[in-house]
Amino acid sequence: MTVPKEMPEKWVQAGAPPSWSRKKPSWGTEEERRARANDREYNEKFQYASNCIKTSKYNILTFLPVNLFEQFQEVANTYFLFLLILQLIPQISSLSWFTTIVPLVLVLTITAVKDATDDYFRHKSDNQVNNRQSQVLINGILQQEQWMNVCVGDIIKLENNQFVAADLLLLSSSEPHGLCYIETAELDGETNMKVRQAIPVTSELGDISKLAKFDGEVICEPPNNKLDKFSGTLYWKENKFPLSNQNMLLRGCVLRNTEWCFGLVIFAGPDTKLMQNSGRTKFKRTSIDRLMNTLVLWIFGFLVCMGVILAIGNAIWEHEVGTRFQVYLPWDEAVDSAFFSGFLSFWSYIIILNTVVPISLYVSVEIIRLGHSYFINWDKKMFCMKKRTPAEARTTTLNEELGQVEYIFSDKTGTLTQNIMVFNKCSINGRSYGDAFDVLGHKAELGERPEPIDFSFNPLADKKFLFWDLSLLESVKMGNPHTHEFFRLLSLCHTVMSEEKNEGELYYKAQSPDEGALVTAARNFGFVFRSRTPKTITVHELGIAITYQLLAILDFNNIRKRMSVIVRNPEGKIRLYCKGADTILLDRLHHSNQELLNTTTDHLNEYAGEGLRTLVLAYKDLDEEYYEEWAERRLQATLAQDSREDRLASVYEEVERDMMLLGATAIEDKLQQGVPETIALLTLANIKIWVLTGDKQETAVNIGYSCKMLTDDMTEVFTVTGHTVLEVREELKKAREKMMDSSRTVGNGFTYQETLSSSKLASVLEAVAGEYALVINGHSLAHALEADMELEFLETACACKAVICCRVTPLQKAQVVELVKKYKKAVTLAIGDGANDVSMIKTAHIGVGISGQEGIQAVLASDYSFSQFKFLQRLLLVHGRWSYLRMCKFLCYFFYKNFAFTMVHFWFGFFCGFSAQTVYDQYFITLYNIVYTSLPVLAMGVFDQDVPEQRSMEYPKLYEPGQLNLLFNKREFFICIAQGIYTSVLMFFIPYGVFAEATRDDGTQLADYQSFAVTVATSLVIVVSMQIGLDTGYWTAINHFFIWGSLAVYFAILFAMHSKGLFDMFPNQFRFVGNAQNTLAEPTVWLTILLTTVVCILPVVAFRFLKLNLRPDLSDTVRYTQLVRKKQKAQHRCMRRVGRTGSRRSGYAFSHQEGFGELIMSGKNMRLSSLALSSFTTRSSSSWIESLRRKKSDSASSPGGGVDKPLKG
């Protein structure tokens, strides 16, 4: 994004635009945008982008070359193209070219078809948008034009419910004062209406003849992606008029409740803010992807080593033996020495052995990931009936990463809470309202509350609004001036839009749920906001309509954290009303408010302690003279071309001082359903949850307790509130010292030294005893994130079970996530629902968006989305764990079967004079990975599961192997490779040994090349099919069909290729008629195949049997528990059939272990089955996971993680 060029304040002529020409540097960035109305010739000089948008990548001519170029950017595709070129060289190729080109073309075709389909839909969407019709004023006449033909400087007419074609400056509308209403759902997801207003000088240009003569020129900022900001100036009739975002209609908006409006095109097509915001999201890769890239390089190195060994063998063999047979086995013409023969042999073996890295691996991985994504999309248990919103996997590349998450960073409002605001309590002039009392005057609890207040006296009241404290209504009816002023402020100080479909039926459209709740409260208590114009607000105060003149709106932003309006009442009195955060507003009160301030502060603390969101209300009377002077300074600030926002903020700051305190509001934001249970379950899965919120500390802490993130059983909750670097460092140091002291008291024997290196300190903090939590404020976090203190903060935070960061900005959210990503070898997940969470969502390894009350910007930026926080447990513990398990099992088996297949060629090389002769038939080599073994492993990768979904949720400790990366790592890879090499040795040498001495029934020699090839190939297909049968943990009809079907297809193709029919059609290709039938008709061959299969599979079965009995995994224990339960249920049913007729009474209705009652009362919500499981789990199975976890954290150069609770055994 380019930064707008700063414009000088003084012009040569007061009302004329600067005379210099627009500069456009050679690299294409703009310094400023100039657009003159109704003058295409002038505007064309600047070569602005047209309004035609293009999101597609290809056309008919460029598709093939561009798509192939993109596909060959992948190293694997380039590698196989290189192999194909080698195979076309007859001197080094011992395989036909089709063994490589068939799978390569298949992969390229599948990818090209997918890309072409995606691009077709992009073309279709582009054409649909570009061909929309719009009314453009050309030569004084309104003409229908396609959107793509609209140019900068054109004047467009929009009608109700039409989309805005480009970024327009609103000139005039059918509404009074040039007002119009828009819906911005396509920009920010918010469906409530927003108001835009034309500047007064153009609002009168409603007539086409006047618009045709309009020749104003706009000079403004260059194209950028800031949706909420616009800075420019209109020059017309020797005057200049400031322009802001309130005067703009952005492309993607829809005109609502406005009959028509006219606008001047400022930005078109790719320059519009909508298109500027549609930049590509950063591509995310999983840890398995990164590991696979490393492993493929290792395999390639191994391939080169094998090629070198066999090439050296060939050179030695040709020198020692081959030279003696030149008469009947001469060298090729190009070969003149044994060394050169070895060189050619090297490339020949590179071709033959290339199947250790098959191209089908990458295609299979993408198919499996796509299947996992569909499972998430189709999961009915993650479908929200209330909102009719399903879960959505918006990416297919991160599914297995969901099974490895260690840190979750969550927003609070709208993510943990519902973001449905309810006016709960308030403090007015030092008195608190909102508590309900019973008939005896005692405070009533939630379940004992009496009937809510009856607002039937107010015909305009919202029937959904509930309030229990009758004294507040009595105060209003008695005419208490403070109460009246309190609700008058709530009815005036806002940006809510009112819509009245029928008489008395008011509908409020608020930009935030908080604001809607406050205006609704004022409405029910008799101060009804009825309507507004750009200059007035009409309120019905206790049935009397009063219209206030709206002089100024001092709007809210994240820096000011407050909003003010200046109004003049019918008596002519000017008053400023202000509402905002207590941290900001309390410092701007008049000194005479001290006593009231103390009382209100106590009420604020009480409200925050109950988890309520608070605002402070204040007002200030302004005299006419002061207001006129201030309004002039405000006008000058709005006209300033440089630092306009800073100047406005300074002017606003000046008037918002010495205000009089009115009181405070408290709004309840209720927890979402299932949040405490979800957090408890994820904590048991050793996932650390950090809450990053913009709310005040007391509110966030209270929500923390409600969510069970913070509990009374915690050893200590540390609070960091320092305002300076030294204070923050000291507080963090004290927290670490307390944790170390606690560890020494329980006998861990650590001695704390501040001079410890970060890695040692981290490992020491990892072992601290007790449970701790850390709460840190935004101003303290700003210091903690500085380069010289970030490690101290991270070490302290990671040693705590829960972390809550309060009053944080969107940037700080992203910085915290980046800090953990930078120093911890852990997968991070960020979840939020608002635009302020987008940076955090994009920064984390995995971003999850909640489709809530704050629009869909978080969803659009996310990798996964759903409607409720509770679905996160299912996304991680079920889909994530299964995806990780399936991908790991798939990769292990894939590398195993390909090494078992390929290494046979290596052993054969030592018995064929290193001549690069293949063991298998070339058709078998071509079909092995794409037909014979592809579908069974795909079925396992898509459908397999170790335990059912209920058990995955019931035993969250099952999630830990993914966090520790136990199922596929370098060690597991080498085990797979070793098993594959072991299988290849037996696969080659057992048939070789048997065939050396075996004879047929007629006494002739059994051994020949083709019979040996058929025997080895058949053994291989049967062994790998048996192996995948052992690896499959969850059998479906599809698994059975693919495994046994692949075997049947192998034999069908084998017999077909050796049939007389194919020989008659292709005598040069299928020369060995009847070989398969003759070979497999020999009992010796089948005994050889059986022996090979048993010797290959038996050690695997024995090892798994011993492991299951001596050192079972947690998943093994869960499966065993499940089997025991099934048997017990069956026995119980049998016993019930027998029954007994005696008394069924007993002294105690059920038996259980002591201590469960205390556990339930503690509120930790740990599931009974998780505890019951611990009695089945051996201590060894717990300790080895813990030792691996400690080893992982100790070996990492980064600071260690938090305290981990061992799996109890």
Contacts of residue 1195, defined as CB under 8 A and 6 or more positions apart, other chains included, come to none
For residue 1002, indicate whether it is catalytic: no
Place of tokens 């290809």: 58
Cα 1043 to Cα 937: distance, rounded to the nearest angstrom:
9
DSSP structure class, residue 774: E
- Token look-up 């109950």 returns 610
CA distance 773 to 882: 31
Q: CA 1001 to CA 997: how far, in whole Å?
A: 13
What element of type H or E holds 1047? helix 1037-1057
CA distances in angstroms from 860 to 67, 399, 412, 876, listed in the order given:
27, 18, 19, 20
Strands (E), 527-649: 527-532, 536-541, 544-554, 562-568, 574-580, 612-622
Contact indicator for 182, 193 with CB cutoff of 8 Å: yes
How far, in Å, CA of 1162 to CA of 62, rounded? 66
Residue from 778, 771, 830 nearest 804 by CA: 778
3-state secondary structure 730-763: HHHHHHHHHHHHHHHHCCCCCCCCCCCCHHHHHH
Residue 188 CA to residue 900 CA, distance in Å, equals: 55
d(CA 100, CA 869): 48
* Nearest partner of 869 among 823, 904, 837, 826, judged by Cα: 837
Backbone φ and ψ for 617, nearest 5 degrees, come out as -115, 140
Contact residues for 817 (Cβ-Cβ < 8 A; gap 6+): 409, 828, 830, 840, 843, 844
Contact call for residues 522 and 487 (beta carbons, < 8 A): yes
Which of these is catalytic: 411, 833, 946, 1116? 411
Helix 98-130 / helix 360-378 crossing angle, nearest 10 deg: 40
Say if residue 555 is exposed, middle or buried (CB neighbours under 10 Å; 0-12, 13-18, 19+).
middle
Q: Alpha-carbon Rg of the chain, whole angstroms? A: 38
Q: 796 near 1171, Cβ under 8 Å?
A: no
CB 390 within 8 A of CB 134: no
Two structure tokens written together for 1172? 């019951």
CB 355 within 8 A of CB 898: yes
Q: From CA 173, how far away is CA 261, in angstroms rounded?
A: 4
Element (H, E) at 195: strand 193-197
**Spatial contact of 299 and 894, defined as CB atoms under 8 Å apart:** no
Phi, psi of 380 (to 5 degrees): -70, -25
Question: Which has the closest alpha carbon to 892: 965, 967, 963?
Answer: 967
CA separation, residue 549 to residues 380, 632, 638, 993 (Å): 53, 18, 21, 103
Supply the DSSP symbol for 399: G
Q: Tokens 């809550």 correspond to what residue?
A: 804
Length of the chain: 1209
CA pair distance 604, 592, nearest whole angstrom: 19
Paired with 564 in beta bridges are 554, 578
> Cα dihedral angle (542, 543, 547, 553), rounded to 10 degrees?
50
Q: Where in the sequence numbering do the catalytic residues fall? A: 411
